[in-house]
Amino acid sequence: MGVLEPILLRLVDRARRKSAWLFHFNAGACNGCDIELVACLTPRYDVEQLGIRLEGSPRHADILCVTGPVTRTTREALRTIHAQLPDPKVVVAIGSCPATANVFAGSPVIDGPVDRIIPVDLFIPGCPPRPNAVVQGIAEAIELLVAKGVAQ
């Protein structure tokens, strides 16, 4: 194992960098950020060439993408889903709502912003952010993911 271990670890790092699977959670967003995230998968931006895939189940995912200011009804679901992502995992908040609750700040039905509910690793600002910004944010999130994997 002694000689093999650094090689294996580097292989794992490389695999993590090349195959990041996303889970998208809408915590009460207006669908604006959701559309921009999905646009990244279309032929124009095509993040699949980086090995990025949008997964249906949080258990498959590496990166949790949250949109929306977290309403009262989505709070517990957000906690549950965050707990179901296997480690190492990264949480990315897309848009202004999950960062500051935006125009919904102070509303009695809003429990956000997101970092009050679950730890957030990266914010992508914008209302909504352009797909270029989302792609860049996810690329940074992948670096965080690799760093977390090393720490683990």
Q: Which residues bind other proteins (CB under 8 A)?
A: 11-12, 14-16, 18-19, 43, 46, 48-51, 55-57, 59-60, 62, 83-88, 149, 152
* Distance of closest approach, residue 63 Cβ to other proteins, in angstroms: 12
Residue pair 138/61 in contact by the 8 Å Cβ criterion: no
* Distance of closest approach, residue 78 Cβ to other proteins, in angstroms: 16
- For 61, the token pair is 């995912």
Phi, psi of 23 (to 5 degrees): -120, 130
- State the virtual CA torsion across 139, 144, 149, 152 in degrees, nearest 10: -170
Residue pair 29/97 in contact by the 8 Å Cβ criterion: yes
Query: Which one-letter amino acid corresponds to residue 53?
Result: R
Query: Which one-letter amino acid corresponds to residue 51?
Result: G
Residue placing its CB nearer to other proteins in the complex, 15 or 103: 15
Query: Which one-letter amino acid corresponds to residue 1?
Result: M
* Distance of closest approach, residue 35 Cβ to other proteins, in angstroms: 16
Residue placing its CB nearer to other proteins in the complex, 85 or 120: 85
* Distance of closest approach, residue 60 Cβ to other proteins, in angstroms: 6
- For 9, the token pair is 């670890």
Residue placing its CB nearer to other proteins in the complex, 19 or 31: 19
Residue placing its CB nearer to other proteins in the complex, 88 or 126: 88
